[in-house]
């Protein structure tokens, strides 16, 4: 189940992950706990959301919302 649709918009699970990041969850572990999603889904979802421009990846794999991601949540 992808986190970004073919049209470039986040899926429901993608939006849930973006909301978790907005609430201060910035690592894959934190996001997995906050969303109840398995770690493999969170990691692949984070890659998709970064590639689509909704998230920015910083040092130590910490993510933050991009302006585009912020506009969605």
Backbone phi, psi, residue 33, to 5°? -65, -45
1 has pLDDT over 70 = no
- Which domains are delineated in the chain? 12-72 (1.10.10.10)
Predicted local distance difference test score (pLDDT) of residue 61: 81
Pairs from 44-48 (Cβ < 8 Å, separation ≥ 24): 44/3, 45/2, 45/3, 45/13, 45/14, 45/17, 46/17, 48/2, 48/3, 48/4, 48/14
Position 59 scores a pLDDT of 80
Q: Which tens digits make up the pLDDT trace of 5-61? A: 888 899 999 999 999 999 988 999 999 999 999 999 999 999 999 999 999 998 888
């Amino acid at each position: 189940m992808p986190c970004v649709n073919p049209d470039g918009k986040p899926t429901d699970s993608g939006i849930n992950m973006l909301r978790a990041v907005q609430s201060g969850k910035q690592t894959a572990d934190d996001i997995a706990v906050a969303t109840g999603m398995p770690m493999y889904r969170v990691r692949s979802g984070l890659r998709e959301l970064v590639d689509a421009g909704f998230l920015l990846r910083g040092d130590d794999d910490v993510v933050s919302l991009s302006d585009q991601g912020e506009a969605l949540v």
